[in-house]
């Protein structure tokens, strides 16, 4: 049997996918954890055994000794990849024989990074060479992992990996989010990869293998990049401060706003979401403000319960069962 559980971000990245991935790889018996899109523009913050780790390329499965695969939907920066292996080993995480790269994954070169640092400012990229690497991939002038000698020990063919063995139970961990998707995000303020469930399938996986799709959101939205996102009002600075909303890759301050219900609805529908986790309930509780944006209008709530009830009611109209909607307030668990 080949089966896939998917983790997708329903907003603009940074919703806490790393936490869900860490949680699921811990409680379920996956044979693989797959990163299916993006490069080292992503930053996944993971709390493991009381220590904080920030990974960019390597999926969370590695913390539990599960095979961790960087799929061909990603672009890979070999320098960052080796730095990360060192960082994990130094933190006591065993990586030997656990980390793999699809041989047809495209490479982020020094030239890509240099170009992105100069030209990416207009949309506020992370400067990690992501856009130029994907451009060269689709322009058919790219370099692939199998062309890089020092990556040889890590290379696998995903066809063989998924189909040659009898049982692959895969957790597919996405990067970035729906609002940053190349096609469905707010173009051109987007990333260069497919951040949806569709992006998972590009890594050699058939639609019928997908079992659960975990959508991850926050109780408010954040965005990092050049467009203006945060409305006027002190409350948004408070949310940013209390929520520690600084980019895990670049350290930039994230702009904050209320959660937009229509972005959420679109993301749930298009990703085929079966479970939703809303993170950082505790942040709004500390700030003491409860609101969403619905059809371009701010809707304020008296308190936590009325906001949660409103969200659950709306999600049920999209076909989600109440017991598959989670409100979370912990850094390291759902
Ligand atoms: P790029 O992916 O570096 O090209 O950046 C394009 C846009 O996506 C910028 O607004 C970045 O801040 C944003 N972005 C890229 N990766 C992440 C992420 O992991 N979390 C949040 N925003 C991201
Ligand atoms: Mg992140």
Residue with CA closest to ligand 1 atom 11:
125
Which of 11, 13, 55, 177 is the pocket-test mutation for ligand 1 (most atoms within 8 Å of CB)?
13
Answer for the pair 22, 48: CB distance below 8 angstroms, yes or no: yes
**Per-residue model confidence as pLDDT tens digits over 177-206:** 999 999 999 999 999 999 999 999 999 999
The residue-averaged pLDDT of 70-74 equals: 98
**Per-residue model confidence as pLDDT tens digits over 1-30:** 999 999 999 999 999 998 898 889 888 789
- Smallest-distance ligand from the CA of 44: 2
* Binding-site residues, ligand 1, Cβ < 6 A: 12-14, 41-43, 123-126, 128, 130-131, 175-176, 180, 189, 191-192, 224-225
Answer for the pair 318, 8: CB distance below 8 angstroms, yes or no: no
The residue-averaged pLDDT of 36-52 equals: 90
Label residue 43 by pLDDT band (50, 70, 90).
confident
pTM as predicted: 0.96
CA–CA distance, 182 with 173 (Å, rounded to integer) = 18
The residue-averaged pLDDT of 257-267 equals: 98
**Partners of 106 in beta bridges:** 75, 144
Q: Determine phi and psi for 234, rounding to 5 degrees.
A: -70, -25
Predicted pLDDT of residue 251: 87
Predicted pLDDT of residue 153: 98
Which of the given ranges, 53-57, 59-63, 117-121, 330-334, has the highest pLDDT on average?
117-121
CA–CA distance, 227 with 220 (Å, rounded to integer) = 18
**Per-residue model confidence as pLDDT tens digits over 57-66:** 999 889 989 9
The alpha carbon of 249 and the centre of ligand 2 are apart by a number of angstroms equal to 7
Percent of residues, the chain, with pLDDT higher than 90: 89
Predicted pLDDT of residue 48: 87
Label residue 101 by pLDDT band (50, 70, 90).
very high
The residue-averaged pLDDT of 154-182 equals: 95
Prior bond of 203 cis (ω within 30°): no
Residue 228, pLDDT > 90, answer yes
Cβ neighbours of residue 161 closer than 8 Å, sequence gap 6 or more: 32, 69, 100, 168
Predicted pLDDT of residue 206: 97
- Smallest-distance ligand from the CA of 175: 1
- Matching residue, tokens 């890759």: 249
Cβ neighbours of residue 286 closer than 8 Å, sequence gap 6 or more: 242
Answer for the pair 113, 89: CB distance below 8 angstroms, yes or no: no
């Amino acid at each position: 049997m080949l089966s896939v559980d998917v983790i997708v971000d329903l907003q603009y990245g940074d919703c806490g996918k790393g936490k869900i991935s860490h949680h699921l790889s811990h409680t379920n018996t996956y044979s693989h954890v797959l990163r299916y899109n993006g490069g080292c523009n992503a930053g996944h913050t993971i709390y493991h055994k009381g220590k904080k780790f920030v990974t960019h390329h390597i999926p969370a499965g590695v913390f539990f000794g599960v095979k961790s695969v960087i799929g061909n939907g990603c672009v890979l920066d070999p320098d960052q990849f080796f730095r990360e292996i060192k960082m994990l080993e130094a933190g006591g995480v065993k990586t030997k024989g656990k980390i793999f790269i699809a041989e047809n994954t495209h490479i982020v070169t020094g030239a890509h990074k240099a170009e992105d640092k100069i030209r990416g400012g207009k949309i506020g990229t992370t400067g990690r060479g992501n856009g130029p690497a994907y451009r060269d991939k689709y322009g058919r002038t790219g370099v692939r992992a199998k062309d890089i000698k020092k990556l040889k020990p890590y290379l696998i063919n995903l066809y063989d990996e998924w189909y040659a063995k009898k049982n692959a139970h895969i957790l597919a961990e996405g990067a970035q989010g729906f609002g940053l998707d190349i096609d469905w995000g707010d173009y051109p303020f987007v990333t260069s990869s497919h951040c949806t469930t569709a992006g998972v399938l590009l890594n050699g996986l058939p639609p019928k293998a997908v079992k659960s799709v975990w959508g991850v959101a926050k109780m408010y939205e954040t965005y990092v990049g050049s467009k203006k996102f945060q409305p006027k009002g002190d409350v948004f600075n408070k949310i940013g401060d209390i929520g520690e909303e600084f980019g895990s890759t670049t350290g930039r301050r994230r702009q904050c706003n209320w959660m937009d219900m229509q972005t959420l609805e679109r993301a749930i529908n298009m990703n085929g979401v079966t479970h939703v986790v809303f993170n950082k309930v505790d942040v709004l509780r500390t700030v003491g403000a409860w609101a969403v944006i619905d059809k371009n209008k701010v809707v304020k709530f008296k308190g936590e319960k009325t906001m949660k009830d409103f969200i659950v009611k709306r999600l049920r109209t999209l076909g989600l069962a109440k017991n598959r909607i989670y409100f979370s307030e912990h850094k390291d668990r759902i």
